[in-house]
Structure 1
Amino acid sequence: MSYQVDLTNCDREPIHIPGKIQSHGFLIAVNSKSYDISYISQNIESYTGVNAVGLLGKNIIELEEQLAIASDTASLQQLLNLAKGSKSSDTINPLAIDVKGTNYNLIISHSVNDLVLEFEPTKSDLGYDIQKTIGRSVAEILSGKNLSILLQNAAFEIKKIINYDRVMIYKFNEDGHGEVTAEVKNDDLEPFLGLHYPASDIPKQARELYKINLTRIIADVNSESSAIITYEEGAAPLDLTHSVLRAVSPIHIQYLKNMGVGSSFSISLIAHGELWGLIACHNYSPRFIHYKSRDASKLIGQILSSALEYRQDEEDSAKLHELGEAANAIADYIKKDTDFTFALTRNKVTLKDVTTATGVALIYDGEITTIGQTPTDEQITDIVEWLKVNMVDTVYSTHRFPGIFPAAQQYADAASGILACSLSRELGEMIIWFKPEQIKSINWAGNPEKPVEVTADGLLQLSPRKSFESWTQIVKNTSEKWKHDEITAVLKVREDIIYAINRKANEIRILNERLQLAYDELDTFSYTISHDLRTPLSSIKNYSELLLASNKSLDDSAKKMLDRIIKGTDKMHMLIKEILHYSRVGRTEIEAAPIDMGLLLNEIKREVLSALNPENIEFTIGDTPGIEGDSVMITQVFTNLINNAVKYSSKSTPSKVKIEGIVRNNEIVYSVSDNGVGIDVNYYNRVFELFKRMDNALEFEGTGVGLAIVKRIVEKHKARIWFESKLGFGTVFYISFKIS
C-alpha cells in the first residue's frame, strides 16, 4: 500500500501500518485461532534460507519443522497458547529460541486477529548486559535533589549504560513542540541543550505510539526495510502497533539522515498517564541493542517517570501551598471585614498574592480597585465589556490576550496575560489578574516551519529539514502561562467571596427590615419621650431633691431610696438624650470642614478623664493626622469610643488606652485601643446594634446606644468602622476615613 505524506495529512500518516519492518530481524504473523501463517516478512529467507511465499498459509507446526525451531521451555504452539491467554505479552517476552542453530529473542505481541512473532538477534553492540548495571545507575539518577538535576543525572547515567554518542531528555510542551532540557554528549558534537523542535517533528500519532511502546530502536537508518507479504489479495496491512520491528516513516528516516544520525534509541517518560517526554539517544553510526537490554532501559524510564512525576508534584505542591495560604488569608479577611474591597485589596495579603500575577483589578460595587501593574481604569472597563461577551465559564485565562483582543496590544507590557473570574454576570463584577508581556527568544533547531517540495504531479510534499542550525524566533504579546495551581487558588477565592457576598446580602436584607421598623418606632418613641417623659421625670427628680434637702427627720433608709430615685431619673434623662441623638444623626446634614485631630482628641481626653476619674491609667495619643468631617459628629464618635475604652479597662492594672492615626494608601485610619474586658466572639455581629450590651459589660454603666450612634455617624461620613477584640485582653476599634 502506498501512502504519500503531504501538508494535509502529516498528522494522519498511518505509521502503525507501514507494511514493512526494520531489517535487523524478521517477522511472522499467525491467525490467532488457526495458527496458520497470515503475514510474513520477505527477509526471512536471508535469515533462514526458507522462501517467505512458501510459508504463507502453513500451520505453525510445519513452520517449526521447516525452521528447526527449538526452545528450552516449550514448543512454539505452546508458547503461542500462553501468549494468547495473556492480555499482555510483557510477562513472557522475550523467549529464547533456536532457529537452525542460531539464537534469537522471540517477541510475541497481539495484532487484531493475529499473533505477531518477531525474531531478533540475541547479540548486542553493547557487549554487556544492561541489567547488571541498572541498580547502581538508578540510585545515581534518583540522587538528584530537584527536577532539573534529576533529569541531568538520568541523561548522564543512560549514556554510560548504552554508550550512545548523544543522550537528551526531550520534554513535550502543551502545544506538542519539544525542548531539550538535559543533555550529555561526546565532546566533538555541537550542543542541542535548550533547542526547541516543532510538534511536526514528532506528530500526534507518533506520540500516541510512544505511550504504548515505551522503548523504540532504529538500529540502522541506512538499512533497507523489509516488506511484509500476505496470501490474501486486498487484505489490510498488518497492524504493527505493538511491534518492536515496525519500520520507520520515510520522513523520519530522512530527518535522521539529515542530522547525520546512524542509529537512534528512545525511552518514553510518562507522567500522570500522558507522554511527558523522551530520553532520546543518537548514535552517529549503526548500533543495535537487544531486547533484554531495551527492556532494562524501559525499567529505568519507568522509574524515572515515577520520580519526575513525584518531584514535579512536590514542586507544584509547594507552590500550591503558598497560593493556598494566600487564598486562606483572603477568606479570613472577608469573614472579619464587611468592606470586601478593603478586605481583598488593603491587607498584608491581597488578591494579587493568590497568583503570580504582577497586577490585579477588582471590579465590584461600581468601582475599580487595582493593585500592582495594571492597565488604566478605562482600559480595564473595555476588558470587562469584552469579557462579558466572550467569557463562557466563570473563569477565563489566556497568555496571549493581545492576539485575541487587538486593543490590548496598546498595553501588552501590563496585560499580555489575563486570568478573570466572574463574581456577578448581571452586575459585571469580576476580578482580573494581569501578567506582563514576556518577550522571549525561542531557539529552534532550524526553521520550525517544515519545508515543502513540489512533486512531479504538482503536490506540495513535506520534506525534512536539512539545516539544524539554531534559528531564533522572537515571541511578543505573550506572558508567562497561567498554571493550574493559580486557577485552583482563584476558584477557591471566588467561592469564598461569593459565599461572603450572599451572606452579606442576606444580612443586609434582614438589617434593612429591622432598620425600617426601628425608624418607624423611633420616630414615635422620640416624639413621646420628648413631650411626655421629660416633664414628669424632671418633676420626680426635683421633688426627690426637695424632700432630701428639707426633711431632716428622714432616716438613712429613706435617704438611700431618694438617692436611688434621683440617680434613676438622671439615667433616664441620659437614655432619652442618647436616643434623641441617635434619631437626629440620620436626619442631620454633615457640615464638613478640616478638623485638627490633635486638638480635638486632647480636649476629649481631658473631659473623659475628668468625668470618669480613672485610677492608674496610661493614656497615650500618637500621631493625629487631620481629617475632614462634621466637627460636632466626629467629636461625638471619639468621645464615645474613648469613654468606652477608659470605662471598660478600668479594672486592669494598669489601665492602658491608646489613640493614633496612620495614613496609608488613600485613607486615614484611626485606632482606639484598650486592655479591658474585651468582647465575646458570640457578640461580634451585635456590637453596633441598638440597646445591645454584652454580658460582661452589665456591671459598667451604659445604655447600649453609644456604638449604634457611632456607626451611624461613621457611615454618614462614608467612612467605615470595625474592631478586633479578645475576651479578657482588650479591644481595638478602627475608623477609616477616605482622603478626598
Structure 2
Amino acid sequence: MTAPSAIPGAPAAPPVTLDNCDREPIHIPGAIQSHGLLLAFDAGRRLVYGSANAAQILGSGLPALGEPADDGWAAALPALGEALSAGLRNPDPQLSIQQEVRCGDRPADLLVHRSGDTVVLELELRDRDEPQVSEYALRAHRAIDRLKRQPDVDSLLQTAATAVRELTGFDRVMAYRFLHDGSGEVVAEDRHAALEPFAGRRYPASDIPAQARRLYLVNTLRLIADVNAAPVPVLGVGHRDAPLDMSHCVLRSVSPIHLEYLRNMGVAASMSISIVVEGELWGMIACHHRAPRHVAYAVRMACDVLAQVLAANVQSLLARQRARAAEMAAQLRAQVIEAALHGDELLAALAPLAEPIARAFDAQAVVLAQEGKLVVHGELPHEIAAGLVQSLQRAQLAERDLVVSQAMKQVLPPPMPVTAPWCGLLGLRFDPVQGGWLLMLRKEQIETIHWGGKPDKDYATGPNGPRLTPRGSFDLWKQEVRGISVPWSAFEQNLARQLLDELTRAHSHRLAEMHRARTQLLAMLGHDLRDPLQSIAMAARVLERGGDAAGTDGAAPSARLGQRIQSSSTRMARLISQVLDASRLQADLGLQIRRVPVDLARILDDLLDEAVVAYPGVRLLKDMPEHLPMQADPDRMAQLFGNLLSNARHHGLPGEPVTVRLVDLGERVRFEVLNRAPAIPPEVAADLFSAFKRAAQPNVRNKGGLGLGLHIAQAIAREHGGEIAYAWRDGQVCFGVEIPKSASAE
C-alpha cells in the first residue's frame, strides 16, 4: 500500500472537553483495533480505504490505494476476491456476509458489509487454540433453553449473565438496565471470586453518551480485545471527501476517553451486548477481563443471539405487565364513569373509589375536592390536603388541567402548604370554577444510590493532554437523594388524562342535569302553588266583602273559608317543605336527623288513624306490635311512613287494600308497605328514588306531587342507617326498609 493522501477539506479533530464529549464522532475514528485488518472498495473494485497493517498480514498481492483489485490479487487471495465480488453484486445497504477463512496458518473470520457506496471487508484473526465452534453452539442452546424458563426480568438477567460468562470466559459479566433518567443499574452479575461485587451499583447516563447509544442500536455487540493495544490507522485515497463511516465495523477503534474509563476500572478487555426492547436500548450485558481477551466471532454471535432471546422474553414479560395494568386501568375508568354519571353527588360517589385509585397509581394518598368539600384517603392530614387544594387553585398550570411533579414544592406558589414526606403530585382539575380536584400523592423516596464512583466528571490533565479525564475511581460512592418521589410513569400520566376527560364530561353532564332539574322544579312549583294561592286569594276577597250567607251544610261562611285557607296553606307548606328537603339533599347537606327515644308503633298507628280519617275510601290492613321502642327522629320517621303510604295510595289499584307491616327483628326494625298493582317497568324502577321524575311517570291520581316523596324517604332511611328497597311479589308492589334500633347498632 502506498502512503496515505490527505483528505481535502477534512477538519482537524477538536480536543474532547466536558462540553463536546457527548458529540465525539466515534463512528469515524479513522482507525481499527489491532487484531484484524480492514479494506474498502468502490464500485470499480478500487481500494479506497485500507488499514495500515493490511500488507503485513496479507503479504504480497494487495493493490495500492486508489488501484483496482486485479485478477492477480483475486488469485493470490481467493476468499477475499470472492467476498468482494459477492458484495459488489449485492446492492442491499443491509448487506452482511460472514465466513471462516484461513490467513496463512491461522483461522480467521471474514466479514463483509456496505458503508455508503463502498464494500467493506474486515478480516478478524482467531487464536489458534480456540475450541470448536460446535461446542459453543451447544452451550448457547442450553443457555437459551434456561432463559425460556425464567419467570421474571431479574431472573432472566441473572441467567443471561451466567450464560455469557460460561461462553466467553470473562472475569466479570454484568447485566444492567437503564432507568428513567438514563442511568444504568447493575441488576445481575457473574464474576471471579477475587473481584469486588458491582451488583446494585448505578452508573450515570453520561457514561454512555447519546452517540454511543445510537451505535449500540446499530451494532449490538462490541468487542474491545485489548485496551492497551495501539490502534491501527485506516488510510484513504486523496479524492475521498469524508472519512470512512465505521458504524457497522466490528474492528472499529475505540474512543480514547472510553479506553481511559476502562483502564481506570482495571479492565484490559471488554465486550458489550445490547438488550434492545421495542426498538429502544433497554439494557446491556457488559463483560470485563483483567487481561487482553479475544472472543471468536462465532462465539460473539452466539452471545448476540442469546441477548436477542433475552430481549424477546423481557418484552413478553413487560407486555404482560402492561396488559394487566391496562385491564386494571379499564376497570377503574369504568367504575369512575359509573360513579360520576349515576351517583347522587360527585364526591360521595367517587369516595369509595379512593382505594382503587390509589392502588392503580401506586399513590399513598388520594384527595377529592369540590365546592369546599374534601374527601381524604390515606395518611395525609386533612388541613394539609385543604391547603394543597387552595394552593393549586392559585397555581398557573403548565398543561391544561393536569399537574405532574416529583417535587410538588417546585410547582406550587407560596405560601407552601405541603410538608415532608409528601413530594409527588399527580393532580386532575375537572371543575375549575368550583375547585373540583382529584389528587394522587406520593411520599418522598429517600434513596441511597450506590454509584460506581462519584458520578461527576472533572477537568484534569490526562494521558491525552489537558482535556476531560474520566472518573479516576470506581470505589463505592453513596449518594442520599431526598425531596423527590418515584416519578409518574408515562402509563400513569396517560391514565390520568383519560380519567380527567371522563370526570370533565361527567361534571358537564351533571351541570346540564342540575340546570334541567332546576328548570323543571321551578315550572312544577309555579304550577302546583297556583291553585292553593288562588283559593286563599278568593277566600280573602269573600271575607273582605263580609259574606254572611250560610252554606248548604249550615256552617258559617267564615268557618268554611277558614277551613279552605287552612287546607291550602297546609298543601303549600308541604310542597315548600319537600322542595327545601330536596335542595338540602342536592347540596349534600343532609336532613338534620336528631335521634331520640320513640315508640315507632305509636307513630305509625297515629299516622294510619289520620289516613283513615282523611281518605275514608282507602282500606288499610296493619300488622304491627303494640309497642316498638327505638332511637329515631320522630318527625322524619313519620315523614318516611307518610311518603310510602301516599305512594301506595296513589299508585295501587283502586279498591284494593294497602298492607302495612312493622316487625321487630331484635337489633333492627323492618317496615313494609304493600299494594296490589302491576310490576313497575325495569327502566322506571331504576330511577324510583331520583328527584323530579313526575314527567316520566304521569299519574292522574297524584297531580299535585313533585315526584320527591320516594327520594326524600330514601334519604331519611339512609340517615337512619337503612335503605328502602323495591320488590314485586304475589301481584303486589312492596317497598320495605330495615333500620337499626340505635346509632350504636348502626
Asked if these proteins are the same fold (TM beyond 0.5), I'd say yes
| SS of the residue 1:127 aligns to | coil
Q: Deviations over 1:147-168 (max 9, x none)?
A: 2212212212222222221111
Letter in 2 for 1:58: E
Q: Deviations over 1:512-557 (max 9, x none)?
A: 2222222322232232466789xxxxxxxx999xxxxxxxxxxxxx
Quick check: 1:104 aligned with 2:108?
yes
Quick check: 1:64 aligned with 2:70?
no
For residue 55 of structure 1, the aligned residue among 64, 79, 94 is 64
What is aligned with 2:595? 596
Q: Deviations over 1:538-584 (max 9, x none)?
A: xxxx999xxxxxxxxxxxxxxxxxxxxxxxxxxxx999966762145
Residues 22 and 455 of structure 1: is their aligned pair in 2 closer, same or farther, counting only changes over 3 Å? Answer: closer
Q: Is the contact made by 1:270 and 1:277 (CA closer than 8 Å) also made in structure 2?
A: yes
What is aligned with 1:286? 292
For residue 23 of structure 1, the aligned residue among 13, 21, 34 is 34
1:216-255 aligned within 5 A: 216-232=222-238, 235-255=241-261
Moved more, 36-45 or 683-692: 683-692
Q: Is the contact made by 2:599 and 2:627 (CA closer than 8 Å) also made in structure 1?
A: no
Quick check: 1:118 aligned with 2:125?
no
What is aligned with 1:304? 310
- d(CA) in 2 for partners of 1:134, 1:102: 25
For residue 333 of structure 1, the aligned residue among 339, 358, 363 is 339
What is aligned with 2:473? 467
What is aligned with 1:372? 378
What is aligned with 1:36? 46
Residues 728 and 261 of structure 1: is their aligned pair in 2 closer, same or farther, counting only changes over 3 Å? Answer: farther
What is aligned with 1:142? 148
Residues 153 and 102 of structure 1: is their aligned pair in 2 closer, same or farther, counting only changes over 3 Å? Answer: closer
Give the C-alpha shift of residue 338 in structure 1. 2.5
Give the C-alpha shift of residue 341 in structure 1. 0.8
Q: Is the contact made by 1:658 and 1:674 (CA closer than 8 Å) also made in structure 2?
A: no
What is aligned with 1:680? 682
Give the C-alpha shift of residue 727 in structure 1. 6.1
Identity of aligned residues (%): 24
Residues 158 and 63 of structure 1: is their aligned pair in 2 closer, same or farther, counting only changes over 3 Å? Answer: farther
Quick check: 1:509 aligned with 2:515?
yes
Quick check: 1:435 aligned with 2:442?
yes
Give the C-alpha shift of residue 11 in structure 1. 0.9
1:404-553 aligned within 5 A: 405=412, 411-425=418-432, 427-454=434-461, 461-528=467-534
Give the TM-score normalised by the residue count of structure 2. Answer: 0.78
Residues 509 and 110 of structure 1: is their aligned pair in 2 closer, same or farther, counting only changes over 3 Å? Answer: same
Quick check: 1:170 aligned with 2:176?
yes
Residues 189 and 601 of structure 1: is their aligned pair in 2 closer, same or farther, counting only changes over 3 Å? Answer: farther
Letter in 1 for 2:50: I
What is aligned with 1:582? 575
Q: Deviations over 1:365-395 (max 9, x none)?
A: 34443322336145314531454x1322443
Residues 672 and 203 of structure 1: is their aligned pair in 2 closer, same or farther, counting only changes over 3 Å? Answer: farther
What is aligned with 1:665? none
- d(CA) in 1 for partners of 2:281, 2:72: 39
- d(CA) in 2 for partners of 1:658, 1:503: 43
Quick check: 1:705 aligned with 2:697?
no
Residues 282 and 575 of structure 1: is their aligned pair in 2 closer, same or farther, counting only changes over 3 Å? Answer: farther
- d(CA) in 2 for partners of 1:263, 1:168: 14
What is aligned with 1:539? none
For residue 274 of structure 1, the aligned residue among 264, 280, 298 is 280
What is aligned with 1:636? 639
What is aligned with 2:563? none
Residues 342 and 654 of structure 1: is their aligned pair in 2 closer, same or farther, counting only changes over 3 Å? Answer: same
| SS of the residue 1:595 aligns to | coil
Quick check: 1:182 aligned with 2:192?
no
In the alignment, structure 1 segments of 5+ residues that lack a partner are 534-541, 545-572, 663-669, 736-740
| SS of the residue 1:209 aligns to | helix
Residues 128 and 455 of structure 1: is their aligned pair in 2 closer, same or farther, counting only changes over 3 Å? Answer: closer
Q: Deviations over 1:422-459 (max 9, x none)?
A: 31445553322110111110000111112320579996
- d(CA) in 1 for partners of 2:201, 2:625: 70
What is aligned with 1:689? 692
Letter in 1 for 2:58: T
| SS of the residue 1:29 aligns to | strand
Give the C-alpha shift of residue 488 in structure 1. 3.3
In the alignment, structure 2 segments of 5+ residues that lack a partner are 1-11, 540-550, 554-565, 585-589, 612-618, 740-746
- d(CA) in 2 for partners of 1:577, 1:138: 87
Quick check: 1:78 aligned with 2:85?
yes
Residues 514 and 242 of structure 1: is their aligned pair in 2 closer, same or farther, counting only changes over 3 Å? Answer: same
For residue 406 of structure 2, the aligned residue among 388, 391, 399 is 399
| SS of the residue 2:437 aligns to | strand
Quick check: 1:14 aligned with 2:25?
yes
Q: Is the contact made by 1:421 and 1:494 (CA closer than 8 Å) also made in structure 2?
A: yes
What is aligned with 1:5? 16
Quick check: 1:95 aligned with 2:105?
no
Letter in 1 for 2:22: D
Residues 315 and 4 of structure 1: is their aligned pair in 2 closer, same or farther, counting only changes over 3 Å? Answer: same
| SS of the residue 2:598 aligns to | helix
For residue 127 of structure 1, the aligned residue among 125, 128, 131 is 131
- d(CA) in 1 for partners of 2:339, 2:417: 35
Give the C-alpha shift of residue 135 in structure 1. 2.0
Q: Is the contact made by 1:181 and 1:193 (CA closer than 8 Å) also made in structure 2?
A: yes
Give the C-alpha shift of residue 174 in structure 1. 1.8
Q: Is the contact made by 2:660 and 2:671 (CA closer than 8 Å) also made in structure 1?
A: no
| SS of the residue 2:124 aligns to | strand
| SS of the residue 1:27 aligns to | strand
| SS of the residue 1:160 aligns to | helix
Q: Is the contact made by 2:176 and 2:185 (CA closer than 8 Å) also made in structure 1?
A: yes
| SS of the residue 2:493 aligns to | helix
What is aligned with 1:314? 320
Give the C-alpha shift of residue 609 in structure 1. 6.8
Q: Is the contact made by 1:416 and 1:435 (CA closer than 8 Å) also made in structure 2?
A: yes
What is aligned with 2:743? none
Q: Is the contact made by 1:220 and 1:287 (CA closer than 8 Å) also made in structure 2?
A: yes
Q: Is the contact made by 2:406 and 2:423 (CA closer than 8 Å) also made in structure 1?
A: yes
- d(CA) in 1 for partners of 2:183, 2:533: 81
- d(CA) in 1 for partners of 2:399, 2:436: 15
Q: Is the contact made by 1:95 and 1:105 (CA closer than 8 Å) also made in structure 2?
A: yes
Letter in 2 for 1:56: L
What is aligned with 1:208? 214
What is aligned with 2:556? none
Q: Is the contact made by 1:645 and 1:673 (CA closer than 8 Å) also made in structure 2?
A: no
